[in-house]
């Protein structure tokens, strides 16, 4: 038996997320109903990492900050007795426990139902508003189906946006876990941020560092022991992280058949053509299309670039930016895949003159 636990954390209405606000819902405070502006879409963090890597510890540290108290946390637990939510303090209101299986597979629909239920209860005023969501996976979870759930459910895609994937890696046992368990490799490969834990017990050794470089050299890398404020590690400023979308040097096929590489799209790119190309790839190879992330400027809306994301068979709604995050204004995507030839991906985007980054002579073609 497994449980999806939804615990709500709240702070004063003065907390703001920094995103555009467009709607409001009633909030009860000292017996009165208040109208409180909410973000247009809620930033959602997926917190993952192999068994014993310290996910709940990091989450507890983050939620010590009053500025992050207006957070909805969903904790997936394995076992017949749900206990992790007792380890996270500051629980207020009801705790939802839904029987099922692992959150990343058999309980996928229960995750969507839980999120929809929280949004409905918030919008009707049954619970106070929350401004961000954290989903903590089990240590044995593959995060890709969770990302699929967020993008495939119409209600969630309209209400939430994937802000970041944060993966914890244990400095003591991390290398061994990457060797033995495919899930650990996927957790590291899909991360926007890699948090190295337990460096007070063992340093980040060269063997583990090399393995992480091979799996994911695009992610921000943070030592948990040297981080005073865990809040920004999990939630940042609430905007999509743009760091990983700059293509990195390609490396050989990764551990457990995982490959990651960047593509520059030189040709004009309409939203329809992009949706057809990525949708066709997802339809044919969705199970192995672990994650796609990029920054593009569509020809039908040239004034604003957009962060685009996909996971398995699902595509997320674009997150429109006010401007490019750096001086590189090229349309660019990063693909994280399992046993999909790069040539097959390039063929789907042939209309946009795709180029591997760097060119094939500089690395693997």
Domains in the chain with CATH codes: 2-235 (3.40.50.300), 244-358 (3.30.1220.10)
Overall average pLDDT of the 25-31 stretch: 40
The pTM for the full model equals 0.73
CA angle 188, 190, 192 (to 5 degrees): 90
Report, as an integer, the average pLDDT of 41-51.
92
Question: Cα–Cα distance between 241 and 222 in angstroms, integer?
Answer: 15
Q: Is the peptide bond before 358 cis (omega within 30 degrees of 0)?
A: yes
* Kind and range of the H or E run holding 283: helix 271-285
pLDDT at 24: 39
Q: pLDDT grade, residue 314 (50/70/90)?
A: confident
Alpha helices, DSSP H, located in 45-136: 55-62, 84-87, 108-123
Share of the chain above pLDDT 90, in %: 36
Q: What is the pLDDT of residue 361?
A: 40
Residue with tokens 């429109």: 320
pLDDT (0 to 100) of residue 127:
72
Q: Which of 2-6, 19-23, 85-89, 111-115 has the lowest mean pLDDT?
A: 19-23
Average pLDDT, the chain: 76
């Amino acid at each position: 038996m497994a449980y999806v636990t939804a615990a709500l954390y709240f702070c004063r209405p003065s907390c703001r997320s920094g995103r555009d606000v467009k709607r409001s819902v009633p909030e009860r405070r000292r017996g009165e109903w208040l109208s409180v502006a909410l973000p247009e879409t809620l930033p959602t963090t997926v917190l993952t990492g192999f068994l014993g890597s310290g996910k709940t510890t990091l989450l507890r540290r983050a939620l010590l900050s009053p500025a992050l108290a207006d957070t909805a946390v969903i904790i997936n637990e394995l076992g017949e007795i749900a206990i992790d939510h007792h380890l996270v303090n500051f629980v207020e209101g009801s705790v939802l426990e839904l029987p099922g299986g692992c959150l990343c597979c058999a309980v996928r629909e229960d995750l969507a139902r839980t999120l929809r239920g929280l949004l409905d209860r918030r919008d009707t005023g049954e619970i106070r508003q929350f401004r961000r969501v954290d989903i903590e996976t089990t240590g044995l979870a593959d995060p890709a189906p969770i990302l699929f759930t967020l993008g495939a459910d119409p209600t969630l895609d309209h209400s939430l946006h994937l802000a970041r994937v944060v993966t914890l890696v244990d400095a003591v046992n991390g290398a061994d876990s990457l060797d033995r368990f495919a899930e650990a490799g996927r957790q590291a490969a899909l991360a926007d941020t890699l948090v190295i834990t337990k460096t007070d017990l063992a340093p980040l050794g060269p063997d583990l560092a090399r393995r992480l470089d091979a799996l994911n050299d695009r992610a921000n890398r943070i030592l948990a022991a040297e981080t005073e404020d865990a809040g920004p590690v999990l939630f940042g400023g609430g905007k999509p992280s743009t760091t990983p979308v700059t293509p990195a040097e390609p490396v050989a096929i990764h551990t457990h058949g995982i490959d990651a590489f960047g593509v520059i799209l030189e040709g004009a790119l309409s939203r329809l053509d992009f949706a057809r190309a990525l949708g066709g790839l997802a339809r044919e190879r969705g199970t192995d299309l672990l994650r796609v992330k990029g920054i593009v400027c569509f020809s039908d809306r040239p004034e604003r670039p957009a962060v685009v994301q996909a996971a398995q068979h699902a595509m997320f709604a674009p997150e429109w930016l006010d401007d490019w995050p750096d001086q590189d204004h090229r349309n660019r995507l990063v693909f994280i895949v399992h046993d999909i030839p790069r040539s097959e991906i390039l063929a789907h985007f042939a209309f946009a003159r795709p180029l591997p980054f760097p060119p094939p002579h500089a690395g693997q073609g």
